[in-house]
Amino acid sequence: MNKIDTLFKDLRKKRRKAFIVYIAAGDPSLSETEKLIVELEKSGVDLVEIGIPFSDPLADGPTIQRASQRALRGGANLKAILKMARSARKKTKIPLVFMTYYNPVYRYGVKKFIRDSKTSGVDGVIIPDLPPEEAKEVISVSRREDFSTIFLAAPTSTRKRLKEIASKASGFIYYVSLTGVTGARTELPRDIIEHVKCLKKITKKPVCVGFGISRPGQAKKISRLADGVIVGSAVIRVIEKNIGEEDLRKSVARFVKTIERAVHG
């Protein structure tokens, strides 16, 4: 069984919710990314999304865009990221997921990307600009490799579209809490609970909420209804503020633990 499926099965038994963190591979360096993955697991994170930097993002806000630019300037590329993931897998047990855009996957080769990702210890992929209707090859190869294909659902998704997304997704469904790009927000949309309830009536697959979550109170509110909470930009901001500092990982861990307690508490 895929590590992601095992994770949510175990969490359900414990009546706990998943705490998921996104970091950009290569920010501030690939060696530091590997160490951060290990530190995140120690800090109580259940799953890590590893962002593959891309020069022309669609869903990323300014914080993650800057992280991707730093990574690209530092020489991060797909082959080097796969090598880093392989090394990180030897030191961690939690599921790892790539988050990328379709262009790098297409240029690398869909079959090769999925097989090499699986060999490197990665358990699934999120491709924001690849709708399920156009993901036939990705889904087909992934199912053969027991590799999760995680699709995004949005507040603007119709009930019909939510059913389509739910039928094609594996691992979990990534519910985007707001319209727009990623980035920490002081407040979440008022209708988010209604939207998540609607999606959960359609599918029994885990539903995890991301985009905009940056505070323990927000994470706690989301964890009461969804199966998981995803935090990205808020963690990237901590990394950004501490680049070059010896206690970068400790600073990230301190922040992450405040969210972890809200989710798991």
CA 92 – CA 78 distance, rounded (Å): 20
Residue 135's pLDDT is what?
97
Contact (Cβ atoms closer than 8 angstroms) between residue 125 and residue 98: yes
Domains in the chain, number? 1
Cis omega (within 30 of 0) on the bond before 206? no
DSSP codes, 148-206: EEE-EE-TT--HHHHHHHHHH--S-EEEE-SSS-----SS--TTHHHHHHHHHHH--S-
Residue 159 Ramachandran class (φ > 0 left, ψ -120 to 50 alpha, else beta): alpha
Name the nearest CA neighbour of 218 among 172, 175, 174, 177: 177
Range of the domain at 20: 3-264
CA 20 – CA 97 distance, rounded (Å): 10
CA 242 – CA 88 distance, rounded (Å): 22
CA 70 – CA 125 distance, rounded (Å): 22
CA 125 – CA 142 distance, rounded (Å): 9
- The reply to whether the predicted model has a pTM over 0.85 is yes
Residue 156's pLDDT is what?
86
Residue 256 Ramachandran class (φ > 0 left, ψ -120 to 50 alpha, else beta): alpha
CA 172 – CA 152 distance, rounded (Å): 9
Active site residues: 49, 60
Place of tokens 């922040």: 255
Query: pLDDT in tens for each of the 265 residues of the chain?
Result: 799 999 999 999 999 999 999 999 999 999 999 999 999 999 999 999 999 998 876 767 788 889 999 999 999 999 999 999 999 999 999 999 999 999 999 999 999 999 999 999 999 999 999 999 999 999 999 999 999 999 999 888 899 999 999 999 999 999 997 654 444 444 555 678 888 999 999 999 999 999 879 899 999 999 999 999 999 999 999 999 999 999 999 999 999 999 999 999 8
How many residues make up the chain in this entry?
265
CATH number for position 35? 3.20.20.70
CA 127 – CA 129 distance, rounded (Å): 6
Dihedral sign for Cα atoms in the order 90, 91, 92, 96? negative
Name the nearest CA neighbour of 129 among 181, 177, 170, 82: 181
Contact (Cβ atoms closer than 8 angstroms) between residue 235 and residue 229: no
